[in-house]
Structures are given as C-alpha cells and as structure tokens.
A and B are shown apart, each in its own frame.
Chain A
C-alpha cells in the first residue's frame, strides 16, 4: 500500500467526515477591542487553517507589545471570507500571498492592512509558494502532481513543472529550488531559471518540512509516511546532492512535523506531539521534551526571529476556535495563551 493511497484515503475520509459530521464556519469570530492601529506591521500574523470543507480559514494579527489580537483581518478588510483551508502565506516583493488550499487559489494582499490586491486561480490544490526569479513564484501542490509557475505581475499560471507526486515544502538556495515530495522519499531539485527538475535527492519517506541552517545545509524532516517506516531527520548537502547525516526517531508512532530553524540558523524546533528543540550540532534526536503538549493538539509552530519566542497553535478538535501558546525559548515555559481562530497552524512575524 503506497503512501499516496494513504493520503488519498485520508482526503476521502476528510471529505466523508465533512459531509457526515460537518464542521463549519460563517459568522464572525469574537473581536478584541479595536484599540490598535489598523496596520499590521509589528506583531505576528496567525493563519488559522479552518475546518476542512467549511470555508472558515482566517488570518489574525497579534501585536507584539500588547498581545492584543485582531481576528479575521482578511474578511474585515475585504468584506468576504478568506476561503477553505488556509495553508500558508508567502511574502514576496512586498506583497502577501495567502495560499488557500481547498479553495484552489492564492489571495494576494497588501501585508500591512491585508487589502486584497488580486487572486491567483487555476491551481489544483496549492500548498506553499516561494519566489523563484524575477516576477516569478513556484507553488507546490497536493493533487496536481506538478509545481505551478506563477507570474507575479499578471497573477497567471504560466507553466507547470511535473514532480510526480504531492509537492509540499519548498525552499530556495542560489539558483535552485528544493521541493519535498511528501508522498514519496525525495527532494526534487529545480533549476529556477530553466524551470526543470535537474535531480532528486533521496531522503526517507514522507518529507513534510525543511529549513536551511546557517551553513547552507538543508534539514529535511520526514514523518515516515504514517507509520510506514521510522521517521527521520536528514541533513542534506545541497552542493553534492547527498544526505550527510540522518537522525532516526525512536518509534513508528512518532509523527515529527513543522520543522522550524531559528534566526541564527543553529537551532531547530519541531513538533512530535510535544515540542522538541535540537541544535544543529547534536548527534541524535532529543529525547527530552522542550514543551509538553499535555492534552492539547499542537498543530503548527513558529519562531519569532526577534525574540526567539516559540509560537504553537493548539487546534483542539478542529471544530472550535483554537489557541496560540507563546513559549519561552530559554526553558520551554509557557508565557501566554492567546485566542485564535479554528486550527491555528502558521505564524508569520512582521
């Protein structure tokens, strides 16, 4: 039974659950007092994924100083909801690109006030976007089997690059773009200029997230394909295209994800039910929990580059508003618990 089938089955199940149980959204979320300015320039943007099939993805903004929160800033500014399954946000050339997976689109916004500047359509199931040359972005895709090449001036999909599977995480280094194929076991290396796959770097099953460290090494976190094999963390030398080091997790039941690198590029954080912290110099997966999830379901992770504070999203059961945990980077202690929308999953620091 291959991993792609697993993903499809889970997608089908999600669709069945959305039909049968139904989670959803529509009316406006609770609002904090609007005592803050209307620009979102000093704080963190929280992307709330929403419930699958319910069209209730939202973006919140939390001001760094006051920790006040403004909920649902996209709908507030634009008079319409963001869409179904908020996947990620990319900030390219001074604009925000909000990838809305199950609405098959990317909303282009002014990042300072989230006013809509346009919509990119013609995508199948977009996941993450990255700049890949002048006026050009690559967008990964769950079901499309290809990377979409988007012209950032015309907002049109101009080309597709076949990747042969579920393209997920994406990162660039030099002229190359590295794309993890999450339902397989490799990283596709794409020449951004020629828009062609030049090679594949073999890792282990289920590469779901990755980040470059300060030495230009690419760290790839593989979940093992839902208990198909032991999850591993790999350090890849992108110059040679080889895996330099691999770190195995203890159990098939581990599900590591959401790899984040700190601003100095020397310490990683990731989720494996709980939050773990690992220096790039360590020789094994840490066994000590940095911050315990307890009864919470931690679904996303972010690192404030200015303070190092760790942000984690508690999605609860995906049918209600979640919370954002702020955690000390020094000792893993909980600093604050803040309100969020449904399934807070990504954090972007401004």
Chain B
C-alpha cells in the first residue's frame, strides 16, 4: 500500500525471537508500548497513542480480536508459531477491516512461489531462571505439488522471582507467588498446487495456556487463574487468470477463556467463535499498465457467550474493500481505497484512504548510492463497540456509537549504501510524524445506577513523531552454517514521542482534559546491536520507557525504566547439521520497574538455549 511504512518480521528474524511473544515484537516497534503483567501474563499493545482495543491483530488476514473484550492478549501468540508478522500503523491498517485505529499486527505464514523441496527441521530447547523451560520444533517439507509446515511450542515458567514489596514498610524482598504459566501450541500449514494457476492452502492454529494470576503487591494471594484455548482454522483457494488473482478463504475462529477465583467464588466462562468467508482479488502489475487493483468482500458472523449476559449474542458484519494503486512514474505512486461495512444490516461510515510515496532516483557516487523517499497517508476508520460494551449486564449500552477516527502520517527516509558488490556501510534514517483524532471514545464510567456503564464520553487527539536509525557494515549477513571470518554488525535505534490527550465531549463523568492518556508513555527509545564473528553472535538490546501516567489527571505516575538485554551464542556445524548454543540475559542491570502499577517485574534473569537446524538436502559447510 503506497504511503504506508511496514515493520516486518520474517521467519529469519523470528528465529532470533524464540521464547518471545508477539507482545515482545511490538515492544520493539517505535511508537508502540506493551503493557504486560509479566512473563506469560496478559500483554496488550498501545500503538501511536491509541488504546489496546484499538490495536487489531489478524491471523491469515482475518481479525482475531475478541468480539467481547475488543482486545487481544498478545502473550497468547508465541513467535515460534508464526511464519511472519507485519505491523502497519498507518491508515492502510483499515485494509484488515475496521477497528485498527492505532494499527494492525498481521500474522501469517510464508508464501512460497516454489515449494521448498528439502526437509528442513529446526528446534530449540531452553532452560532459564525462575523455572522457565521452553521447547519448539519446526518441520517443513515440500514436494512437487504440496508442502507441509509444522510449528510446535511448549513453554512453562514458575515466575517465582524476587521483588521488593512496595506495600510493606522497608520494602523487604519477597518472592512472587502464584505466577506460573504453561503454554503449548501447534500451527500447521499445508499447501497444494494442482496446477500453476491454482493453489490450495490450509492453516490450523491450536493453543492452550494456563496461567496463575498473582495478586498486586499488598493483597493476599488468592487462587485466581485463567485458562485460554484458541482454535483457528483457514482454508483458501487461490486461482490466477491472466493478470487477475482470486482468493477465496473460509476461516473459523474459536476462543475459550475460563477465569476462576475460587477464593471469591468466581467462575467465569467466556466463549466466542467467528466464521468468516472472504473473496479477494488482485491484479498484477503489467509493464504496460500503471494501475493495480485489489479488494475483497467478506462476511463475518461473531457469536459470543459470556457470564455477562444470558444466552448467545451475535453480530454479522459484511465488508467490501477496494483499492487502486496508481504507478504514476518510477518515482511516484499513489493509492486510494474505500471500505464499507454493514453491521447487523446497518451501514457503517464509509472509510476512504489515500496514500502516496515518492522515491527519489538513486544517485550514485564513486562508492555510494543515495536514496531518498517520502510517504504520506490519510484515512478514516471506526471501531464498533464490543459485545461487552453493548450487552454486559449490568452496564452494557446498546445505544453506543462506534468510535470514529481520522489518522494521517507523513514520513521521510534516507539511505546511504555502497554500490552493488561493495562492502561499504549502509546507513538509513527514517522520520515519521503522525496525528490521529478519535471521536466517541468508549469508556466504562460510573452511571449513577449503581453500576458502571459503557459510554461515548470523550475525544482523543494523539500526535507525535519517531526517528529510526539503521547502520550495518556489510550488505550480506552470514547465514547459519556458513560462517564468514569477517566481523559483521548491525545497529538499529529508534526514539518516539507520543502525545495522546483526552478532549472531553458529550456526556459522562469527565476529567483529564488535555492530559496524557493513562499508560501511554510520551517517550520510548531503544537500540539493537547485532554482531557476528566467525561462529559467534552477540546481541545487545537497551531500551527506555518513559514515565507513564496512571491517573487521568496526571497526578500519579510510574517512573520510567531502562532495561538492558543481551545474548551471546556460538554455532557449530557438521555435515547437514548446525547447532547453536546461546546464553541470554534479560534486565541485566536488574532494574526494579513496573509496567503496571504494583505488579512487580522480573529482575536479572538468564536463559540457556540450544537451537538445532537440520537440512537433509543441503550441505552445510
């Protein structure tokens, strides 16, 4: 999509993030902030000043946010089960459907033009501090017309780390209790190409997660716990004729969330399932054509059953989306898109989108290529109230209006690189400004009826900027098993500033006008240094998260914190096998911090990991 910048993690990048979740990916995103209760615990993301429920997560192109809660627990997406992840923060996020006011995290599987013919298996085993054990397996095999790719993961941790109890005089050291978790999952992809013009794909995702929920500091430990199960399945058929590609997809989503607090006698079972049918088209670029068209039509049925209401609640959504990309010249391209949704037979606001990109012609010096680009986008979006917002008894408000937003981004970048086959460093800089305005922001507020009620109570104006810096000293990173003898390194750094302010409007108990939204840091910065020499690799990852207000009048806050993670690893290869042994350290400076108030986070920790890679048809030097 022209005019939008993509942050993308492919399978190689995700290999370095084993043991993490999509929440950890988002934490690397400039302008993103992940609010986590600790390892394996609930993690939600705020992108460019918006709320967690305004961050959309898609799996195989279909939004998977809970229709009841609106948000997605990113801890339930282990990186080991994901083929690739793309984050879009610009207005193009609306292509996934409405709701992504902050951005969209698109999770998918690799697309193969030719199926990989070799057997590839890789896996990992790790053990670390606080009772942490992980294991993963990835097996991929393709034949002429079909392929199969299996990913599996198992994780567990006691999370019994020491912390200073701020609720007790003298802040004595204690050990966190009742914070263990166990997670296991499988993701399976199949592909079948009966002809060069036809492809079938099937995807299945199964995840089971059990989590204990520790009390906040100062509260007695209860038996609070949560059990989540996710089943996702998708079947698609892609057909090509001339320059036209059609893809028909059927998707089934089923989530179960079982919350229990026996101490309080609470036993809440929430289930939701969605059925989605989608037909998508796209045209290829042709040398004589300057236009590329794409779009889709989607029907979605959401069903939800919770303790908040009797029976089953349903929502039917029809979506039509069309986009035209105009390749005006080698330097300019522009896209326009339009989306229209019908929800339970009622037409929602039409969502227009515009984007453009200017790519300067690369200028070549003796050993240097200078490349500049500028991009901009503008779009409208909305987010439907969740089923909880509408129907929870008591407090659900069937009169709620959708949240409506406008968002704009303007970015520019500059890359200096060596000419082809040169080994001069590559430097890249990117800057981006963004602004978004949301009307009819939905909050639960005291109603005067003795309970809280969902209301459209305020407007939010978020704006800010980010800068990113990349530096790498060689164009090509040595691949595993083919160890170069030169020192290779890469540095990435970013800083973002976000102002996200409430503007009271309409009815409701209002406050915090002109104040920063709670749990949205104004300042975040981080850097990643990746080094490789012979068989050795090292990563250093410092990050800073600024002060976060935790009351809407900015009267109370959590201090900013600085974290330093690092790892060192050594690889050994023989015949067709490669093994890598890694030692990872997190929070090496042992910073005491809270991502959520009175929820202690882990101090210094270590993890020892063994990765192996077997490729039966490829010789490894």
Contacts and interface: CB of A to CB of B under 8 A. Distances in A.
Is the A/B pair a real complex? yes
Contacts of B510: 295, 316-317
A225 to B, nearest CB: 9
What is the interface of chain A mostly: helix, strand, loop, or mixed? loop
Given A81-B166, A227-B449, A17 B444 contact: yes
A54 B598 contact: yes
Contacts of A319: 511-512, 518, 551-552
Nearest to B165: A80
Interface string B235-278: 00000000000000000000000010001111010000000000
B445 interface: yes
B218 interface: yes
Contacts of B394: 6, 9-10, 226-227
A47 B511 CA distance: 21
A79 interface: yes
Contacts of A330: none
B509 A295 contact: yes
B448 A226 contact: no
B216 A84 contact: yes
A255 B446 CA distance: 12
A98 to B, nearest CB: 13
Contact of B553 (A55, A105, A223, A321): A321
Given A20-B52, A317-B446, A320-B512, A79 B169 contact: yes
B310 interface: yes
A55 B597 contact: yes
A199 interface: no
A81 B552 CA distance: 20
B167 A21 contact: no
A260 interface: no
B395 A13 contact: yes
Interface core residue of A9, A13, A342 (most chain B CB under 10 Å): A13
Contacts of A100: 218
B220 interface: yes
B427 interface: no
Contacts of A226: 394, 449-451
A242 interface: no
Interface string A230-270: 00000000000000000000000101010000000000000
A100 B217 CA distance: 13
B91 to A, nearest CB: 25
B545 to A, nearest CB: 15
A55 B598 contact: yes
Contacts of B42: 19
B393 A9 contact: yes
B485 interface: no
Contacts of A299: 446
A295 B508 CA distance: 8
B511 A320 contact: yes
A342 B511 CA distance: 12
A320 B263 contact: no
A226 B396 CA distance: 13
A102 B219 contact: yes
Given A26-B597, A226-B449, A105 B444 contact: no
B139 interface: no
A295 B504 CA distance: 13
Interface core residue of B44, B51, B219, B559 (most chain A CB under 10 Å): B219
Contacts of A103: 167, 218-220
A53 B217 CA distance: 10
Given A9-B308, A27-B556, A79-B169, A255 B449 contact: yes
B558 interface: yes
Nearest to A56: B556
How many A residues are at the interface, by size bracket? 35 or more
A163 interface: no
Contacts of B558: 24, 26-27
A19 B509 CA distance: 21
B509 A9 contact: no
Nearest to B71: A20
Given A10-B395, A12-B268, A295-B509, A317 B596 contact: no
Contacts of A342: 551, 556
Contacts of B594: 26
B309 to A, nearest CB: 9
A344 interface: no
A79 B443 CA distance: 34
A315 interface: yes
B399 to A, nearest CB: 15
Given A1-B310, A79-B169, A55 B393 contact: no
B422 interface: no
A125 interface: yes
Given A12-B268, A105-B220, A315 B446 contact: yes
A23 B167 CA distance: 18
A320 B555 contact: yes
Nearest to B394: A226
Interface in B46-94: 51-53, 69-71
A255 B450 contact: yes
A67 interface: no
A21 B53 CA distance: 9
Interface in A109-130: 116, 121, 124-125
B133 to A, nearest CB: 27
A161 interface: no
A8 B266 contact: yes
A284 B171 CA distance: 54
A143 interface: yes
Contacts of A11: 264, 266
B522 to A, nearest CB: 16
Contact of B511 (A26, A29, A142, A317): A317
A93 B119 CA distance: 79
Interface in A272-301: 273, 293, 295-297, 299
A54 B518 CA distance: 13
A29 B555 contact: yes
Contacts of B268: 8, 12
Contact of A6 (B393, B443, B559): B393
Nearest to A273: B448
Contacts of A29: 555-556
Contacts of B44: 20
Interface core residue of B44, B171, B449 (most chain A CB under 10 Å): B449
B448 A22 contact: no
A293 to B, nearest CB: 8
A80 B597 contact: no
Interface in A1-48: 1, 5-6, 8-17, 19-27, 29-30
A12 B265 CA distance: 11
Interface of A: 1, 5-6, 8-17, 19-27, 29-30, 51, 53-56, 78-81, 83-84, 100, 102-105, 116, 121, 124-125, 142-143, 145, 223, 226-227, 253, 255, 257, 273, 293, 295-297, 299, 315-321, 342
* Shortest 3 CB-CB contacts between residues of A and residues of B: A24-B550, A24-B597, A320-B553
Given A16-B69, A102-B219, A226-B451, 12 more contacts: A6-B393, A16-B388, A20-B44, A21-B444, A24-B550, A25-B551, A26-B598, A53-B216, A55-B597, A81-B166, A297-B445, A320-B511
17 contacts: A12-B266, A13-B444, A17-B444, A19-B37, A20-B70, A24-B598, A26-B597, A54-B550, A55-B598, A56-B556, A80-B166, A80-B171, A83-B167, A102-B219, A143-B265, A319-B552, A320-B511
